[in-house]
Amino acid sequence: MARLQGKTAVITGATGGQGRIACMRFAEEGATVIGTDLDAAAGADLTTELQEKGFAMTYVAADLADPEGVERLAVAAREFDGIDILYANHGIILGKPLLETSIEEWDHVQDVNIKSVFLLTKALAPLMEGRAASIVNVSSVGGLTVFPNLSAYGAAKAGLAMFSKCAAVDLAQRGIRVNAICPGVIDTAMPRNFVATLPDNPDEDEVMKGFAQGHVLGRLGRPEEVVNLALFLASDESSFMTGSVLTVDGGWSLQ
C-alpha cells in the first residue's frame, strides 16, 4: 500500500520548486493533495498536471500571511472528510544587514514565515483532531546557526522551530504530531533570491559555490531530499515522533 493512502494533505508553497515536487510525491504515495500558494495561474497548471496523471489535486490561491487567505484555504479544506497532513513548506528570505532592515521588511518576513504557520495551525488543527494527523513545518538551518545579513529570516525560522515544539505539546492530546525540518541550502530559487537581495551585488555563481562548500558533503541539497524526510514525517512510519527538529543540511550545522 502507498504510504499516504487515504490521507488528505495540505501543502503550502505548492508552486515553488520544492512544493511542486512535494505535491507530486505526496500524490504518488496515495494522498489527496490540497495545494496552496500565491500564484493562481501556476496553481492551475500544477493541478492540471497532477490530475492528468490520475491524482486527486485541489488548489487554492491564498496569501497565508493574511487571516482572510488562511480562512479561504480552511473553507476549501472543510469540503473534505478531515485533514491528515499539513506540510507548511512556504517561506521567504531577506538578505539585509540588521540595521538596514526596515520595520516593514521585518514584519513581512515574520508574517510569512511564522505568523502564517500559527494561523494555519489554528485554522486546520480542528479538522485534524483525532486522526493521528501530522504537521510538518519547514524551518531552516538558518534558524539554528548564524548567517550574516539574515537577522529577520533567522529569527523567524528559529521561532518556527520552537513553535513546532510548543505545538507538539499542546496538540498531542488531540492526536496531532508536529515536527520541523531544517534544510541547508537547497538548489531552488530561494537561495538565488537571497543572493539578489545582498548588498554590493555579489556574483551569484561565487556565492552559490560558497554555499555548496559550506556543507560537509560539499554540495547543495536537492529538493527531493527535503521532501523525502517530509514524507516520512507525514506518514505513519514516524508515529512515535513529535516535537523533533531535524536537519537535512549536508552537515552544515556541524561546523
Are residues 248 and 229 in contact, defined by beta-carbon separation less than 8 angstroms? Answer: yes
153 carries an active-site annotation? yes
pLDDT by residue for the chain (255 residues), tens digit each? 699 999 999 999 999 999 999 999 999 999 999 999 999 999 999 999 999 999 999 999 999 999 999 999 999 999 999 999 999 999 999 989 999 999 999 999 999 999 999 999 999 999 999 999 999 999 999 999 999 999 999 999 999 999 999 999 999 999 999 999 999 999 998 888 888 878 778 899 899 999 999 999 999 999 999 999 999 999 999 999 999 999 999 999 998
Q: Choose the catalytic residue: 26, 59, 87, 153.
A: 153
Per-residue b/e over 96-108, b at no fewer than 16 CB within 10 Å?
beeeeeeeeebee
Task: Give residues with Cβ within 8 angstroms of 30, minimum separation 6.
Answer: 1, 2, 3, 4, 5, 6, 7
Domain boundaries, the chain: 8-246
**pLDDT value at residue 1:** 65
Q: Give 154-193 pLDDT, tens digit per residue.
A: 999 999 999 999 999 999 999 999 999 999 999 998 888 8
Q: What DSSP string runs through the chain?
A: --TTTT-EEEEESTTSHHHHHHHHHHHHTT-EEEEEES-HHHHHHHHHHHHHTT--EEEEE--TTSHHHHHHHHHHHTTSS---EEEE-------B-GGG--HHHHHHHHIIIIIHHHHHHHHHHHHHTTTTEEEEEE--GGGTS--TTBHHHHHHHHHHHHHHHHHHHHHGGGTEEEEEEEE--BSSHHHHHHHHHSTT---HHHHHHHHHHHSTTSS-B-HHHHHHHHHHHHSGGGTT--S-EEEESTTGGG-
Separation CA 6–CA 81 (nearest Å): 10
Separation CA 22–CA 87 (nearest Å): 9
Alpha carbon of 25 to those of 46, 115, 148: distances in Å? 13, 27, 34
Topology at the third CATH level for domain 8-246: Rossmann fold (3.40.50)
**pLDDT value at residue 255:** 83
Alpha carbon of 31 to those of 107, 110, 184: distances in Å? 34, 30, 27
Q: What is the pTM of this model?
A: 0.96
**pLDDT value at residue 121:** 98
